[in-house]
A = this chain, B = another copy of it.
Amino acid sequence: MQHLTESTVTERVLERISDCPNPRLKQVMTALIEHLHEFAREVALTPEEWKAGIDFLTAAGHVTDEKRQEFILLSDTLGLSALVDIIQNRSRSGTATESSLLGPFYRHGAPQLPLGANIAGNTPGEPVLIQGQVRAAEGKPVAGALVDVWQAAPNGLYDLQDANQLEMNLRGQFRTDESGRFRFQSVKPASYPIPFDGPVGMMLRALGRHPYRPAHVHFMVSAPGYENLITALYITGDPYLDSDAVFGSRESLVAGYRPYNGKEGGSAIRETLEYDFVLAPTAANAHL
């Protein structure tokens, strides 16, 4: 039996996974074990600190349920989610729209609505027409693209978090018209804190950080032959644009409200938020 020291313990753990039948799993776990051990050595992690970490993960597990995902909040607030997103889009062309975090509030099955419909129901707030065009990198409009949108209400809560909102409030799926254009009515989103009554909130306070996200509207845009685009629009002037608690905001994704003079379904609209999305071709399509 080999003597275990600070450095040989890492070798021993790695030897133990030498027979892992899945090469990718072996690669990922090797890097995970090496970095986990190097972290502990570098800071000389004490048993008390280790125990605090175990307790933190335990509390995060216990607060997590179908409507609350503390581990995603942890990943988001440590910048890991943003990093995974950036890595995923390493090869995407520079002209395509930047991606932004999916976040924990996406739901499948939002209602399919006609262009111009209102996703806000009777949610109190300032009305706004959100519109734009979906294009390919070379400028060609993408007709029939699916534009799936979701946002928080002006009180900072998503339907999932708020008993006063109807199911699927502030969510909708739209199809672009033959010019690649989409439009829908909504209310202006507000900046809001991520849930901070759990372990992640405690962590943010201990680190001297605030829990706010700048106001945004989420978009998932998809069309055959193009990479799925998961992104969000942020609003010019929001005080949290530079300090988004989850590192989702991007300069290229900021747009401002502009005056507008029109009607949708009988309602007068005075402001609009406009943004065009540029899709990257799928790898197969890029060769054509």
Task: Give the interface of A toward B (CB within 8 A).
Answer: 1-6, 9-10, 12-13, 16-17, 19-22, 25-29, 31-33, 35-47, 49-50, 54, 57-58, 60-62, 64, 69, 71-72, 75, 78-88, 90, 206-209, 241-243, 247, 249-251, 254
Contacts and interface: CB of A to CB of B under 8 A. Distances in A.
Contacts of A12: 79, 247
A209 to B, nearest CB: 6
Given A6-B86, A58-B69, A1 B80 contact: no
B58 A64 contact: yes
Oligomeric state, in copies: 2
Nearest to A13: B79
A71 to B, nearest CB: 5
Interface of A (DSSP majority class): helix
A79 B39 contact: no
Contact of A57 (B9, B13, B60): B60
A84 B50 contact: yes
B71 A33 contact: no
A30 to B, nearest CB: 9
A3 B251 contact: yes
B69 A1 contact: no
